Structure 1
Amino acid sequence: MTTTIRHLPLDRPDLLRPPPAYAVLRESEPVTRVTTPDGTPAWLVTSYDAAVTVLSDPRFGVAPPGGGHPGNHTLFQDGAPHTRLRRLVSAAFTPRRVEAMRPRIEALADRYVGAMAAAGPPADLVDAVAAPLSISTIGELVGIPVSERAQLRQWADAVLTVDVAAASAGELDAAGIEQAWTALTDYAAALVAARRADRGDDLISALVGVHEDGARPGHDELLSEDELVAMVTTLVSAGYLSACNGMSVATIHLVTGGQLPVLAAHPDRLDAVVEEVLRQQSGVTGEALPRWAHQDVELAGVSVAAGDMVLARLEAANRDPARFPDPDRFVPDRPNPHIAFGRGPHHCLGAALARVEIRAALRVLAAQLPGLRLHGPVEEIPWIHGFVDSGPAALPVTW
């Protein structure tokens, strides 16, 4: 095995495809030494089986051994604290709740795509469809008044659409980001207080129920106030941005691959198309959080020491030919055990909701605008490579 240490990020000639080096590494060194952009040594994992192990094996965690942040009230913890919080939140964020929202999400998609079509080309699909559909979905799930959603989007954008390159160049508006984050957190706390005073049928009310019901006789667990506010803040901000980017990049994949007219002719294939889009866009919109080995682990024949950082690349794993034959082809009817939403204890809590949103957007675009195409080369799409998620800052389209 070579001792060459590669430096991230790897060269990516095509925005929508993985770095070519992934295929080479997956064949010869599926677990290989790299250094991150800030110079931290890590292991890069490019095979499907090894990536699944990293994401699901309890010997790997989202924090270094003994390195959890004091006062962390989010799901980004390991072991018993994470298991407890995940169980409590899942009691409110149920598949039934998400499924009940499907008709409303589809109606919103009809509204936004219809308005874009009526206004005529060209248009910015992010501003006309993806962002408003995403923020409206989160707003209705959480119970945010329509009049307050635009402000909420501004705060979330300020906090989450921070470009990695700008950060590296020291071009961040740190004060502005901190101000937006404080405003977002304060707003979440106010929402929680309002629902405590007057519960409804929204997700925050359900989370407040978990918080307050835990204090009753026979309930020995509850969400703390800090955990409650942190969960609402995370759901509102990350949930909005991830779905927005997911819809935008899914559209890019379909229109550049000539698949939108096919979907219009065969709407019965929509669910399979969504899964294949998710498989192919993994890594373009975001990657799994780094993991750390909590003990010495043998991974794909490589000895990973306790404390080592490990980067499981979803993008590489979801194009592993050992699991997905002819992985670069768009094949909606293939067996598709992709890991676009991760795997194991940190599997994305909002996966079902994201699927419903992406499905709704693609269904309406195919039905109303099957001739949709990019308004300019894909290389000219302005892109934000953020710390949390990545996607187009704008997506010019025409038809």
Structure 2
Amino acid sequence: MAGPEHARLRRIAAKALSPRRVELLRPWVEELAQELAAKLIAQGPPVDVLEGYAIPFALSVLNELLGVPPTACDDLRRWADGIVAVFTALSYEEMADAAQKLGGYLAELVEIKRHAPGDDCLTWLLQARDDNGDALSPEEVTQLAFAILLGGYVPPANALAQAVLRLAIEPDLPRDPASVPALVEEILRQDQGSAADQGRVALEDADIGGVPIREGEFVLAPLRAGNHDARRFPEPALVDLARAPGHLTFGHGPHHCLGAALARLELQTGLRALLAAAPRLRLAVPFEQLEWRRMFLTLEGPVAVPIGWWNRLNGAACTERSPGLSPSVVRRSRTLDTQT
């Protein structure tokens, strides 16, 4: 969407997804992350961070955010998996059926919240008003809930798994709690820049970087290229925790991701909890053996992120295989020079 109608929806929805609202979830999200991290480590190495930690973490946060009853959680994951067809392989007919079922369920849930408000995002969206007193219709809330569920499931789970992967293959990166926020921003810039790639159709003729774009032409802007632009980010391949903010992973301007605050909370909390449970985590297979999947347009993610860890008591490696490091991805953080 664009123009006045987009601005109206965004003004109202932003009140329900404000950083202040998201911050109220922090204690619960922190407790959830600690429980899931402990459960993962208790399985013993190697463990898959994506399926065993990142996916249930992202889904549990979404269910809490939207006020989904526990009895419906499994259905929501099955429908969401069917729509994005990322963690499952489905036909177009199965994807369409999953979308219809998810939309129908969310419409029912919105109707329930209209008559029995709760402390959840659907209620906040129903109750939100802009300065003119305008509100969202139940249909608009249902559509937003659909977008929140899909946007808040795969991208955060994928980002958390890739953040752990980055730490697993770069053992010199700082892992103390104070460094996590800056580390998250660099990992978002480094590895997640294609998560928000969007196709656009030019509304008028334009010239960008000396390239003529004509009205009606299709354009796909790879945000990862912007995040690695050396004119904006010197030595872009370097993980530099002292960089000034400004990456494009959450978009820019009027289409900046409304869920950015929630995504940052999940990534920071998820990393802190896992590092507290396994501070010396390592990749359990050589990097070259990892399999990757293509999602949406250009978003890529690992099929699995198997990790082990070093025993903090005797220094023994707790993996079935020795960690493998890829020279092309192992880079030293500039900030380590003063921390070592």
Scaled by the length of structure 1, the TM-score of the pair is 0.73
Distance 2:51 2:303 in 1: 9
Distance 1:344 1:378 in 2: 36
CA contact (8 A) 1:272 1:333 kept: yes
CA contact (8 A) 2:197 2:223 kept: yes
1:33-90 deviation line (CA, Å, top 9, x unaligned)? xxxxxxxxxxxxxxxxxxxxxxxxxxxxxxxxxxxxxxxxxxxx11112111111211
- Code of the aligned partner of 1:317: G
- Partner of 1:91, secondary structure, is helix
Pair 1:345–1:259, CA change in 2 (3 A): farther
Distance 2:255 2:101 in 1: 27
**Runs of 5+ unmatched residues, structure 2:** 310-340
User: Are residues 1:378 and 2:287 paired?
Assistant: yes
Distance 1:182 1:235 in 2: 16
1:92-120 deviation line (CA, Å, top 9, x unaligned)? 11111101111211111111011111121
Kindly report the root-mean-square deviation, in angstroms, between the aligned alpha carbons of the 2 structures: 2.1
Quote the residue 1:313 is aligned against.
Answer: 222
Scaled by the length of structure 2, the TM-score of the pair is 0.85
Pair 1:287–1:238, CA change in 2 (3 A): closer
- Partner of 1:222, secondary structure, is coil
User: How many Å apart are 1:153 and its aligned residue?
Assistant: 1.2
Quote the residue 1:195 is aligned against.
Answer: 113
Distance 1:197 1:148 in 2: 19
Aligned length: 308
- Code of the aligned partner of 1:242: P
User: Are residues 1:117 and 2:15 paired?
Assistant: no
Quote the residue 1:231 is aligned against.
Answer: 144
The 5-angstrom pairing of residues 171-182 of structure 1 reads 172-182=90-100
User: Are residues 1:138 and 2:62 paired?
Assistant: yes
Q: Which has the higher contact order (CA 8 A, sep 6+)?
A: 1
Quote the residue 1:251 is aligned against.
Answer: 164
The 5-angstrom pairing of residues 250-269 of structure 1 reads 250-259=163-172, 262-263=174-175, 266-269=176-179
Residue 391 of structure 1, aligned match among 301, 305, 312? 301
Distance 1:199 1:311 in 2: 41
- Partner of 1:298, secondary structure, is strand
- Partner of 2:152, secondary structure, is helix
- Partner of 1:288, secondary structure, is coil
Residue 331 of structure 1, aligned match among 240, 263, 276? 240
Residue 369 of structure 1, aligned match among 270, 278, 285? 278
The 5-angstrom pairing of residues 22-33 of structure 1 reads none
Distance 2:220 2:108 in 1: 37
Residue 270 of structure 1, aligned match among 172, 180, 183? 180
Distance 1:312 1:363 in 2: 32
Quote the residue 2:257 is aligned against.
Answer: 348
1:149-194 deviation line (CA, Å, top 9, x unaligned)? 222112111111349xx9xxxx851221111111111110111011
Distance 1:387 1:296 in 2: 27
